[in-house]
């Protein structure tokens, strides 16, 4: 299972653009990686899990270090 943090996707399109950008910048600035996630960040995790036949029963948290802060 993949557990993502805040990701820049169309899911947030109902939020006004200026508010959405402010949300991304604020959330990203609080993360160790310094930015909000992007769809390709999450996709890479799925590709890894699909390619590795030895991974079973795991939850991969991909949130830019959010669980650390």
Q: Spell out the domain ranges in the chain.
A: 2-64
The SS3 call for residue 21 is helix
For residue 11, give both structure tokens. 């899911």
37 near 5, Cβ under 8 Å? yes
Degrees to nearest 5, angle at CA 40 with 68 and 27: 40
Name 49's Cβ contacts closer than 8 Å, sequence gap at least 6: 2, 55, 58, 60
Using a cut of 0.75, tell me whether the model's pTM lies above it: yes
What pLDDT, in 10s, does the model give residues 9-64?
999 999 999 999 999 999 999 999 999 999 999 999 999 999 999 999 899 999 99
How far is residue 36 from each of residues 15, 50, 62, measured CA to CA in Å? 16, 24, 11
């Amino acid at each position: 299972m993949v557990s993502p943090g805040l990701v820049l996707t169309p899911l947030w399109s109902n939020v006004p653009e200026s508010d959405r950008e402010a949300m991304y910048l604020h959330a990203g600035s609080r993360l160790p990686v310094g930015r909000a996630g992007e769809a390709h960040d999450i996709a890479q995790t799925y590709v890894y899990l699909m390619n590795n036949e030895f991974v079973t029963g795991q939850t991969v948290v991909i949130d830019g270090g959010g669980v650390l802060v």
